[in-house]
Structure 1
Amino acid sequence: MPNQAPTQASPPRALRWAVAGSVIVMIAAGGLFYYASKMAAAKRQANHDEVLVTIHSHSCEPNALTVPAGRASFRIVNRSDRAVEWEILDGVLVIEERENIAPGLSQVINANLLPGDYAITCGLLSNPRGTLHVTPTAASDAAAKARPSMVAFVGPLSEFRVYLSSQSTALIKAVTALEQSIEAGDLSQAQALYLPARAAYQRLAPAAQRLGELDNSINARADYFEKREQDPAFVGFHRLEYALFQQRDLDGLAPLTQRLLTDVTTLKQQLLAQSLLPEQLVSIVVRNLNSIGDVHASSGEEERYSHSDLNGFAANLDAARKVVELLRPLLSKSAADLLPKIDSALAALDAQLNGFKVNDAYASYDSVSAEQRKQIADKAKALAAALDGIDPALGLCGL
């Protein structure tokens, strides 16, 4: 019987699957490589306008940049011997930054920039800062009329925080002087120093009144207590006002002034610890002005013992004026037609109050007639109404 050729064994099934898998992996790898190449090419095309900035040990090169408004890309190359950061600054505010750029490497910063002049950091904090000038474009001019982003409010809110800090410091200083005059037993001096201390508080009142419990300790009138002036819980400014101007007696006031000093010191801490939303910046001032218009101007009850209501109204107006000042740049861009109405209302209330000044001091409120009080109330409400238009104009309604 002839010998038969041996039958060739077919590859094991596992081997066939392995070969097929290798082919699939190769195809997938090729596809991924092609995709990555296309993405890299697209990225290079998109970044063909990158601005190159080289950081050396003690400077940037170039140190003065000019770019058009809108999206800009900066490639930061670190030629120094340590990891560095690069920042774009608008005043004290960081607009964009890239941290920890390693020596010999580069990173890209993308920023949407508004027209204006900025500073740039150049590695070490001790290094001279560079400049970045951003020129306006047709697109940036159109965007300036649109609703600002929340970033636009960082500056006004930060500056309002500075205002709260400085006014709180002034309040603490004024209350300290008042305390010292009371401890010295000088009634006339204490009466004179009460007025600037009270005015310092009124400049903070729109924000301070958000802190209900603390504000009650500092600012509550006798009406809010069961035994009115005789209630042990009646403390703060109005308790001192009652003693200084109605009782005309300093006896027992030292602990009360010490308590007030503690409270206003705590007030500063809490005001700076609280966050304020953009839409609250105007609303707290509007609420304060409406209180003048609806209650305080007509009744004269707020400063019933010293009759120094006009001092308080003027201080409240200072706070309103500050908020307008902080928001004016935004309003000039987005609601320029609203500014004349606001400025007119500010000037009207200011003129009304200044009409009661004699030798740089406000008249006693018990000398202000009912008709004059109504005029003050009307102008306070008119200013509140004008300010009430700010949030809609800046797109903050409903936030």
Structure 2
Amino acid sequence: MRAFRSSAIAAVAAAAALTTVSGCAEKSDSKDSDAIKVTASDDKCEVSKTSFPAGHIKINIENAGSKVTEVYVYAAGDRIVTERENIGPKTKAEITATIKKSGDYEIACKPGMKGDGIRQKITVTGGGKAEKANPELDKAVAEYRKYAQEQADETIPAAQKFADAVKGGDVDEAKKLYAVSRIGWERTEPVAESFGDIDPKVDVREDGLEKDQKWTGWHKLEKSLWDEKKIDEDDKKLADQLMTDLKDWQKRVGTAEITPTSMANGAKELLDEVATGKVTGEEERYSHTDLIDFQANVEGAEKSYELLKPVAAKNDAALVTELDKQFAALKTLLGEYRDGDSFKAYDSVGKDDRKKLSDAVNALAEPLSKLAGAVAK
């Protein structure tokens, strides 16, 4: 979920002191003269180039401010082209991305990781070099598109069962079905978020709402079920609205622009989701089903990685070795919190264990941030 909350920001800042959340944003000393340099501060977003050709791009980011920030590239309609979160104060990060289409875009810096950000208009021209076809990468994109569609297709019946329980006023049954209904979404969240308008309807938390935005989606129903312990008539209407919005997502997955670098960056974004939402307990603050989401995010990230791995291994064997190691370590650690065929409630996971999970996420996020660069070589 892209709408960050003040409490999450505080949690990130606190975690940074212990686990260096900015480790999610690798140190970057790139001397590449073709790179777009973005200097983010608490009140500015300075961009070194406002026009550049389509194709592979590198964005070197420096956070010169005092707040954790994030940087987005938006196409028309706030469609997310690429992003990097959790860039700590006085640290640097690098994004490798692919922009295929010429046109008008925006680069946004978001100090405090909230709001619409400080935006700079940029133009992508049609003068990019024609890319040589790479059958392995073409296959990876095709397989990932199939995977994303499968996850959306599988979400609809699971979410419908949840919605039906809500509409039937069955609090206990709806609670049982809630977390399961979200798994496919959590595995492929960057694809859903790339459309710009679906995520705020489906997955926003109350303190992530924009001014005058009506609260809809999973988390509004989560609050009713666990915090208010009742279902009212408005909730029943929201269950129908949730299904309408999820079916819209399902239909649009096939139109998503997916590239090898967006797959790699999406995998990193899923780890950012874990770092800022699941590890902190912010994501599922009422149901405490965060570890189910956590696993789904990791599974989605690993799927992208495995599809890109053959090419990444040729270009950077050492990176692949490290990623294999860190994925295995994180999955092993996550397995320690299993409870039958599910996971422990996250409010039963203590501070020391949360620190272990946070450290494991950061240990994977750092090399994962280099995957896009490896596949773009």
Give the TM-score normalised by structure 2.
Answer: 0.61
Please list, as runs of the form range in 1=range in 2, the aligned pairs for 1:27-66 lying within 5 A after superposition. Answer: none
Match for 2:197 among 213, 218, 221? 213
Paired AA for residue 158 in structure 2? A
Match 1:179 to one of 163, 169, 193: 163
Mapping for residues 1-399 of structure 1, pairs under 5 Å: 149-225=133-209, 233-252=214-233, 253-293=235-275, 295-396=276-377
AA paired with 2:293?
G
Distance in 2 separating the partners of 1:213 and 1:342 = 32
**Could you list the runs of 5+ residues in structure 2 that have no partner in the other structure?**
1-130
Distance 1:280 1:232 in 2: 29
Task: Work out the CA distance in 2 between the residues paired with 1:226 and 1:336.
Answer: 44
User: Is the CA contact (8 Å cut-off) linking 2:267 and 2:305 kept in structure 1?
Assistant: no
Structure 2 partner of 1:24: none
Displacement of 1:246 after TM fit?
1.1
- Residue identity in the other structure for 1:184: G
Higher relative contact order (CA 8 A, sep 6+): 2
SS of 2:198's equivalent in the other structure is helix
Cα deviations by residue, 1:210-241 (Å, 9 ceiling, x for unpaired): 222210101110002379xxx87111010111
Quote how far apart the aligned CAs of 1:389 are.
2.4
Deviation by residue 1:41-83 (Cα, 9 ceiling, x = unmatched): xxxxxxxxxxxxxxxxxxxxxxxxxxxxxxxxxxxxxxxxxxx
- Match for 2:357: what amino acid? I
Q: 2 CA distance for matches of 1:291 and 1:261?
A: 23
- Is contact 1:148–1:394 with CA below 8 Å preserved after alignment? no
User: How far, CA to CA, are the matches of 2:191 and 2:363 in structure 1?
Assistant: 21
Q: Look up the equivalent residue of 2:172 and give its one-letter code.
A: S
Secondary structure at 2:214 match in 1? coil
1:348 is matched by which residue type in structure 2? A
In structure 2, distance between residues paired with 1:361 and 1:339: 29
- Figure out how many residues of one structure are paired with residues of the other and give that number: 246
Query: Which structure's CA Rg is the greater one?
Result: 1
Q: Which runs of 5+ in 1 are unaligned?
A: 1-146
1:129 counterpart residue number: none
User: In structure 2, how many angstroms separate the alpha carbons of the residues matched to 1:384 and 1:308?
Assistant: 22
* C-alpha distance after superposition, 1:355-385 (max 9, x if no partner): 1111122111111112211221221122121
Amino acid at match of 1:322: K
Cα displacement (A) at 1:332: 3.5
Secondary structure of the corresponding residue to residue 212 of structure 1: coil
8 Å CA contact retained: 1:236, 1:260 = yes
Alignment CA distance shift 1:214-1:192 (3 Å)? same
Partner of 1:110: none
The question of whether the paired residues in 2 share the 8 Å contact of 1:297 and 1:377 is answered with no
2: CA distance, partners of 1:342 / 1:318: 14
Amino acid at match of 1:205: E
TM-score of the superposed pair, with normalisation by structure 1:
0.58
Cα offset for 1:319?
0.2
* CA–CA separation in structure 2 for the residues paired with 1:309 and 1:163: 23
SS of 2:169's equivalent?
coil
